[in-house]
Structure 1
């Protein structure tokens, strides 16, 4: 009788566990991620401005919709229009402030890895905040293409093009060219007839970048080419066991290796269970409800906040009033008026956490502390920056937060999951 009871209880436990989170099947494919570092001659204020403008332009559609609904004011639109104006190339600016003493702070500004297109190797940024795949073409004569691998159609047997033009704008720069199809291979998974952009023009924004192109991993509806993303095709064609991918974003200071796993989650990268949060919609972004934020355990009582989870954004960008409330609780923080940014002690031990689906996840202080403002005053810029990417309740949650968790993106259940790192 006791033995039967034990089996019944075990059975119930298994059923409850299955309802809590999807099964993580063993068959999956993982590739290593490489950290993208900023050019060393750029001063911190220019780099910071660059990050903010990239976010403004990337989410300009959301900002314009919010403006039409009366959710943002004219100042936000002025900032957006200013960001859209052509600017001097960031790479050509002279050094004003030395960053030799930063000791690894602000090194992680993006993550890229290898893929092949038509049998030719490329390094691409993996971006959950967009949905287009593009790489340079042999016809690209822009300076930004000069030090990157270029695609040669003559070397591929499956290359096709309809000569349909495409263009994507990222930050202060842009790319344009034609849409094509070919075979794309990611971590051993082959995707036939994948639509991608072949650039003939790239702005100077990409000069000297350590990656050749970009692979969007948001929903297909965001694609400027009207195409399915490579991972969406994997899921539709059942090339993966589960319609999910998982990120472990590494930290330069820790000398670890980041990973991107297709078709499941990397069990070695996290502990405990994955906390899945349903998306607020499937209109494009990986956007989920955020319960609250806290500093040193003190909740800020934020209500009805939404968070776009974006591996292609370096900072956490939030409504100015929310950012002010967070920094008010960080001892020694101050607002730098001329920048509109917050500085915090470089040696702060403040623990800022974001709460999703009832669980709080702390941001590692190594990531909260960003670019050095003043060595003498021991002040650094905060990784949480004021800005508007849509309505006044939307947060843009980038790598400053995502390096502290294991993140999973599930197309089948339209959800994002977080787990504690191993």
Structure 2
């Protein structure tokens, strides 16, 4: 199972929810399930020995890297606290975890929230159906205390699942959305906005640092920026629309040839997507340029291509952000290499959009500044 961050809107009489689109199992997932890296996946330690931040008030929360496909962090819900592993997702704004009422096989191997054990839990009675491309979550809305490190948010709304379909391969318990409130259709205040409203943070800023090929070392930080995680100065880019974290992109080029975003387009930074996603027609042309061939749901690439292929340059708001071949080609087990491009964003039924997922965000440290409606990017250390 892969969460791709293309958001799919489904309407119901009980609840409206925007959540990440899931993709059918691919060769990459199949390889992961062969216990090729069993010790890597089963080890449940998080390295908390991060460098001291420039500003002591900044919370630096460790994230665990699962095969460069998802970055998972720990939070707690309730009083006394119950711990969960969540995907911090800039591509959505809603928050859900599995509950003790969940009867699905997925929930048998997950941490389950028990509202009976929390003295601060409040049930709303609102039922929700969360539908996405190849799965479904049925649950209800509740409110409770949420803790991320030393940050405490009171009476936070979240969905408690009762039934889950199509989530069996996930390495996280739930998803915590960090998009703008407009992206949420629960008509409740998202976690980050409550942090700001309740005075939990002094400035509405968070940032991500993703490491490549290392279990530990990746982080999400709140209430400021630790500049030791990037090289050079941050390049600040205005947010073009306050729903996704999106920007105006000028073009995508390789060797000076425009290969995507031919007449300008929108680029969305999505920490919930492992890929670079664009319109299928344009992505198919890029696959040919990098000698990728279809292997069912994914494209394989000769591993020798990593040495010979040039950077692909994403020009955003007039700034060039090169992504090297070792980033846009994923070297998997048994010497099999895959393209990290995927299609499907035409399903937005809006002007051309590209999703810059973890492929891009491992190369560039990213800062999300709500107050000034801007995104900061700089090469990651």
Q: Identify if the C-alpha distance between structure 1 residues 225 and 243 changes in structure 2 by more than 3 Å, giving closer, same or farther.
A: same
Q: Could you say which residue in structure 2 is the equivalent of 1:158?
A: 120
Shift in alpha-carbon separation, 1:96–1:279, aligned structure 2, 3 A: closer
SS at match of 1:242: coil
- RMSD (CA atoms): 3.3
SS at match of 2:241: coil
Shift, 1:298, TM fit:
5.0
1:240: Cα distance to partner? 1.2
What's the CA shift for 1:361?
A: 1.8
Query: Which deviates further from its counterpart, 343-352 or 175-184?
Result: 343-352
Correspondence for 1:226 among 177, 187, 192: 187
Mapped partners of 1:263, 1:247: distance in 2 = 12
The correspondence of residues 266-305 of structure 1 with structure 2, limited to 5 A, is: 266-282=226-242, 284-296=243-255, 300=259, 302-305=262-265
1:357 pairs with 2:317: yes
Whether the 8 Å contact between 1:407 and 1:418 is mirrored in structure 2 is yes
Q: Any idea what SS the aligned residue of 1:221 has?
A: helix
Would you say 1:399 and 2:347 are equivalent positions? no
**Change over 3 Å in CA distance of 1:383–1:95 after alignment to 2:** closer
Cα distance in 2, alignment partners of residues 316 and 293 from structure 1: 12
What is the Cα deviation at residue 124 of structure 1?
0.7
Structure number with greater Rg is 1
Q: 2:148 aligns with which of 183, 186, 196?
A: 186
Aligned residue for 2:228, secondary structure, equals coil
1:206 aligns to what? Answer: 167
The answer to whether structure 1 residue 175 and structure 2 residue 137 are counterparts is yes
* 1:29-63 deviation per Cα after TM superposition (whole angstroms, max 9, x unaligned): xxxxxxxxxxxxxxxxxxxxx64xx548x43349x
Q: Describe the SS at the equivalent of 2:232.
A: strand
Task: For 1:1-12, list aligned pairs within 5 A.
Answer: none
Deviating more after overlay: 205-214 vs 230-239: 205-214
Q: Which has the higher strand share?
A: 2
Provide the secondary structure at the position in 1 that maps to 2:106. Answer: helix
Partner of 1:44: none
SS in 2 for 1:190: strand
Counterparts of 1:418 and 1:360 in 2: how far apart (Å)? 11
> Aligned residue for 2:47?
none
Separation (CA, whole Å) in 2 of partners of 1:132 and 1:245: 17
**Aligned match for 1:344, one of 301, 307, 313:** 301
Q: How many pairs does the alignment contain?
A: 336
**CA separation of 1:354 and 1:124: change in aligned 2, threshold 3 A:** same
Name stretches of at least 5 consecutive residues in structure 2 with no aligned partner: 11-20, 41-65
Deviation at 1:195, TM superposition (A): 0.5
Give runs of aligned pairs for residues 119-138 of structure 1, distance below 5 A: 119-138=81-100
1:127-185 Cα offsets, whole Å, 9 max, x none, are 11111111111111211111111112222121101211122234411212110111101
Q: 1:421 to 1:168 in 2, by over 3 A?
A: same
Structure 1 unmatched ranges of 5 or more: 1-49, 63-82
Post-superposition CA distance 1:108-135 (Å, at most 9, x none) = 2111111110011111111111111111
Residues 294 and 326 of structure 1 are in contact (CA less than 8 Å); yes or no, is this contact kept in structure 2?
A: no
TM-score, normalising length: structure 1: 0.71
